[in-house]
């Protein structure tokens, strides 16, 4: 299996399998620890180390992948996820908060190694003259990943109900062992391995375009998580009295729909008319996105029916955010230099992880101190900063 399309299929299948277990594990931890009496904020704290490790992993992982090859970093990510799952097979009495945080941290390292490797590899499988195909492949990989993450939420809840916590974990670990073996046998052995040995200081991108896009990505993903990660589900439970199944179903359905829109982003932005995204595309879609949290905040301030405002607003925000994310995901692959692509991509997703971490912390603090409307306003401010940073991104070049 050495043709680009065959290698793409191997990479995508490995990424899909990993994503299913990642989404399922998150839901398993949330539901199981809530059953043990943990508050929403305490459960959210279990994922802070997970997000922090993503920052470090993306920064260092790209450098390691450039030296060892993307196949090695992808397989290492799968192996670490298996270790993280096996750690949770201990007796329930041993599942302390610190222990689970460490297991989640290992899972966070695994996730970002796998994601960075999968997305970097696409750059090497598509010729520079086929930017339209590159955009479509990146959008499909990214969109399908998020759809499957939402499916993973349902999978986690179903496995917990039918097999219990340890049974669900064991099944997922076993499936990943099979995927790891198949990927090791089928994936090109020298994929992404550079001819030169980059220095550790090379992990910081020297490309102005990559640095600007990374800064924009930081604010974009922080803007989402400021109101989505903690503030929204806690508000739905405390103020609207939704039960946990209703909250979980809404968030899972949102992630699935978000993934479908990401996959369709090339059609939405005009790929059939020959339009390839550039810096102007990123700026315009960010401006459109900024209107969403402001509109939701305005309607809530005027005491419109909160559940309808939040559901409709969340769907609209998710659709526009998905296009923003897909455009960014294409641009980083397009901007990254082919020799050592994983370092540019790793640096960019370091900013992505740092944005999620910042958004998660701010979501809990701002909501607890000022409420959901303030979270939405701060979210809009962050998106406006994203659009301002996007002004300086490169515009179209001849393809």
Over range 17-39, report the average pLDDT. Answer: 80
Region for 394 from its dihedrals, namely left if φ exceeds 0, alpha if ψ lies in -120 to 50, beta otherwise: beta
What is the overall mean pLDDT for the chain? 85
Domains of the chain listed by start with CATH number: 4-191+203-390 (1.20.1250.20)
Cα–Cα nearest to 61, from 36, 42, 38, 80: 80
Over range 292-320, report the average pLDDT. Answer: 95
**pLDDT tens-digit readout, 127-150:** 777 788 888 888 888 888 888 888
Tokens of 114: 């796998």
How far is the C-alpha of 351 from the C-alpha of 347, rounded, in Å?
Answer: 7
Q: Tell me the HSE value of 392 on the side-chain side, using a 13 A CA sphere.
A: 14
**pLDDT tens-digit readout, 71-110:** 788 888 899 999 999 999 998 888 887 888 889 889 888 8
Residue 335 near residue 395, CB atoms below 8 Å: no
Cα–Cα nearest to 29, from 114, 79, 102, 80: 102
**pLDDT tens-digit readout, 308-347:** 999 999 999 999 999 999 999 999 988 987 666 777 888 8
Of residues 70 and 170, which shows the higher confidence score?
170
Q: In sequence order, which residues have a C-beta less than 8 Å from that of residue 385 and are 6 or more positions away? A: 219
pLDDT over 90 at 69, yes or no: no
């Amino acid at each position: 299996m050495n043709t680009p399309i065959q290698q793409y299929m191997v990479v995508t299948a490995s990424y899909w399998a990993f994503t299913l277990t990642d989404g399922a594990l998150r839901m398993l931890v949330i539901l199981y620890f809530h059953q043990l009496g943990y508050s929403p904020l305490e459960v959210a704290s279990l994922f802070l180390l997970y997000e922090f490790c993503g920052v470090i992993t993306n920064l260092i992982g790209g450098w390691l992948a450039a030296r060892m090859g993307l196949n090695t970093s992808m397989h290492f990510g799968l192996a670490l996820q298996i270790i993280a799952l096996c750690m949770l097979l201990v007796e329930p009495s041993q599942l302390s908060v610190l222990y689970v945080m460490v297991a989640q941290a290992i899972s966070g390292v695994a996730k970002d190694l796998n994601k960075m490797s999968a997305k970097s590899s696409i750059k090497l499988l598509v010729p520079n003259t086929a930017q339209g195909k590159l955009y479509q492949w990146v959008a499909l990989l990214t969109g399908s990943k998020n759809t499957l993450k939402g499916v993973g939420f349902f999978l986690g809840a179903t496995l917990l109900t039918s097999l219990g916590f340890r049974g669900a974990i064991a099944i997922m670990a076993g499936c990943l062992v099979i995927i790891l073996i198949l990927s090791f046998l089928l994936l090109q052995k020298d994929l992404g391995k550079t001819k030169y040995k980059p220095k550790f200081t090379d992990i910081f991108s020297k490309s102005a375009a990559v640095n600007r896009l990374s800064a924009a990505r930081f604010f974009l993903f922080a803007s989402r998580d400021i109101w989505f990660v903690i503030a929204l589900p806690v508000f739905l439970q405390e103020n609207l009295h939704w039960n946990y199944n209703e909250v979980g179903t809404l968030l899972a359905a949102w992630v699935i729909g978000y993934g479908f829109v990401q996959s369709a982003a090339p059609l939405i932005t005009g790929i059939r008319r020959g339009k390839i995204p550039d810096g102007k595309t990123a700026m315009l879609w960010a401006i459109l996105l900024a209107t969403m949290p402001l509109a939701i905040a305005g309607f809530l301030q005027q005491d419109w029916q909160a559940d309808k405002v939040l559901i409709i607003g969340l769907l609209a925000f998710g659709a526009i955010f998905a296009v923003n994310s897909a455009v960014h995901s294409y641009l980083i692959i397009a901007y990254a230099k082919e020799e050592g692509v994983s370092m540019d991509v790793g640096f960019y997703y370091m900013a992505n992880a740092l944005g999620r971490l910042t958004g998660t912390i701010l979501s809990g603090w701002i909501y607890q101190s000022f409420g959901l409307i303030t979270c939405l306003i701060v979210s809009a401010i962050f998106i406006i900063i994203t659009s301002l940073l996007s002004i300086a991104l490169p515009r179209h070049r001849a393809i």
